[in-house]
Chain A
Amino acid sequence: MAILVIAEHTNAALAPATLNTVAAALKMGGDVHLLVAGAGCGAAAEAAAKVAGVSKVLLADNAAYANQLPENVAPLVADLGKNYSHVLAAATANGKNILPRVAALLDVDQISEIIAVESADTFKRPIYAGNAIATVQSSAAVKVITVRATGFDAVAAEGGSAAIEAVSGAGDAGKSSFVGEELAKSDRPELTAAKIVISGGRGMQNGDNFKHLYSLADKLGAAVGASRAAVDAGFVPNDMQVGQTGKIVAPQLYIAVGISGAIQHLAGMKDSKVIVAINKDEEAPIFQVADYGLVADLFEAIPELEKLV
């Protein structure tokens, strides 16, 4: 049996999380097929065909799939998925939106956000905001799974030579329509893929002060994140939020600035290789997970840090 991976893409290019998801699929064993569903997504399909380890690309090019509306995409995936042993998607906003709908259409349970593959039917996933790791086994005919990208090293984006096969689905289910979107603009690396992440919390005091983090980030080639407190206070937009309800990151270096370290925030970053905490409260819980802690006023420490790196 083969494994179907739903590609995350922008129609023009593949999203990096797809490469991590393919890596998880390869650990389960079997041929890996990538489904690229979108509108005018030929370029994404060509990129998908080059991904190492992928043996076939299914291309569903239809205006109804343009914005990945789950009402339209899920029936397509469920229909294709019947012939596979596993159906996988990255645990992105998109994957989380579509895949449970696919699972219910296939009448099987879904396993969310796996971080390790023990065997073709046994997986590890965090529960309780990452405070416990469950090992779960599925006996479902089709195993429907979302993959936490930070749990798996990405496969190479080049080197494969899969054939592209066009597939068609039912198209527009007529229940929903796309109205518009408002995407935050950023030149810095994507938060979930960055090697270095610098996050600010309530201690930043206001949105203007995030400029200190931005200039440090630019010097380090880092992405900038935030705690929920900083987002709720309106300092930065919510797509910068790191935590249980925001993005899960696991960079080489995570620098937490003015963040106390609530359970919900730690759930989003505690798998980082090296954690640095800069906080003026030496009792802050963040210091319990930090490899290097600096008790200092961030408004003095950050400019100094920028000068020294």
Chain B
Amino acid sequence: MKVLVAVKRVVDYNVKVRVKADNSGVDLANVKMSMNPFCEIAVEEAVRLKEKGVATEIVVVTIGPGTAQEQLRTALALGADRAILVECADELNSLAVAKLLKAVVDKEQPQLVILGKQSIDSDNNQTGQMLAALSGFAQGTFASKVEVAGDKVNVTREVDGGLQTVALSLPAIVTTDLRLNEPRYASLPNIMKAKKKPLDVVTPDALGVATSSSVKTLKVEAPAARSAGIKVKSVAELVEKLKNEAKVI
């Protein structure tokens, strides 16, 4: 079966971002960008499904600026067969992204779509669920285990009290949680080979999708800083402070 994987170019998870002085956003100029960590897990899962003989083709798609081709090449080096870039300079909300992905799903007709559960920049945790709704597919969010069995996929999900397993009819949407797998690294020969794999570039207009949004960001501020704490010398002093100064125990 065909597997579609959506990936996103985001600020690298190790970067400590700074809010711009004019409060218009965070400063992303000259900051290291990478594939969103949850998307890496999604690519890895697709590649493992292919290695098991379940998946026959892996198509990786991203929506973003031209530079997002770097993340597509990374996915190709990890084992994806071909890539699609929906080129769009503006930052889009999840609903617009889900609509664009729906257009790609309609065209590609995958049996399984794998996304990360959330991107570490906007922290929305919406796109997979929205794509599932728009496509009319079942959804297996926050997956820690994915097993394709016939025309169904069993997904074990991380929920608040533990784990839950659901059976979904294919085609279905799966969003990955951290413990689904450990993503591999791309080897140098595979990085070289990835340069020759096909990468199509399309525009939202060509897909016939309007990307307007009803939510606008008025300002972005730094969170309130915590006042500097103190170091105590002993456990006795700590207990004394907690009891008498902070009054929390």
Contacts and interface: CB of A to CB of B under 8 A. Distances in A.
Contacts of B122: 127
B235 A304 contact: yes
Nearest to B163: A182
A135 B223 CA distance: 12
B19 A132 contact: yes
A1 interface: no
B123 A128 contact: yes
Interface in A258-309: 263-264, 270, 273-276, 282, 287, 289-296, 301, 304-305, 308-309
Contacts of B3: none
Contacts of B177: 245
Q: What secondary structure prevails in chain B residues at the interface with A?
A: mixed
Interface stretch (B48-56, B63-71, B131-139, B183-191): B131-139
B179 interface: yes
Nearest to A17: B160
B249 interface: yes
Contacts of B213: 109
A138 B214 contact: yes
B242 interface: yes
Interface residues on B, range: 35 or more
Given A293-B230, A294-B235, A295-B231, A100 B125 contact: yes
Interface string A212-255: 00000000100000001001100001110000110100001100
B246 interface: yes
Interface in B126-174: 126-134, 136-139, 141-142, 144, 154, 157-169, 172
B107 interface: no
A297 to B, nearest CB: 11
B203 interface: no
Interface in B55-78: none
Contacts of A156: none
Contact of B168 (A104, A109, A175, A295): A175
A108 B161 CA distance: 30
Interface residues of A, number: 88
A139 to B, nearest CB: 5
Contact of A184 (B11, B26, B161, B236): B161
Q: What secondary structure prevails in chain A residues at the interface with B?
A: mixed
Contacts of A275: 226, 229
A179 B242 contact: no
B134 A274 contact: no
Nearest to A98: B129
Contact of A109 (B93, B179, B248): B93
A92 interface: yes
Contact of A71 (B121, B124, B139): B139
Interface in A138-152: 138-140
B219 interface: yes
B154 A179 contact: yes
A287 B50 CA distance: 45
Interface string B11-48: 10100110100000010000000000000000000000
Interface in B1-16: 11, 13, 16
B172 to A, nearest CB: 8
Given A139-B214, A140-B215, A179 B165 contact: yes
Contact of A274 (B136, B232, B248): B248
B123 A127 contact: yes
A176 B168 contact: yes
Interface of B: 11, 13, 16-17, 19, 26, 93-95, 98, 117-118, 120-134, 136-139, 141-142, 144, 154, 157-169, 172, 177-179, 213-223, 226, 229-232, 234-236, 238-239, 241-242, 246, 248-249
Given A104-B131, A176-B167, 4 more contacts: A97-B139, A128-B11, A175-B168, A291-B230
6 smallest beta-carbon distances between A and B, as pairs: A100-B129, A104-B133, A104-B130, A100-B126, A175-B138, A183-B162
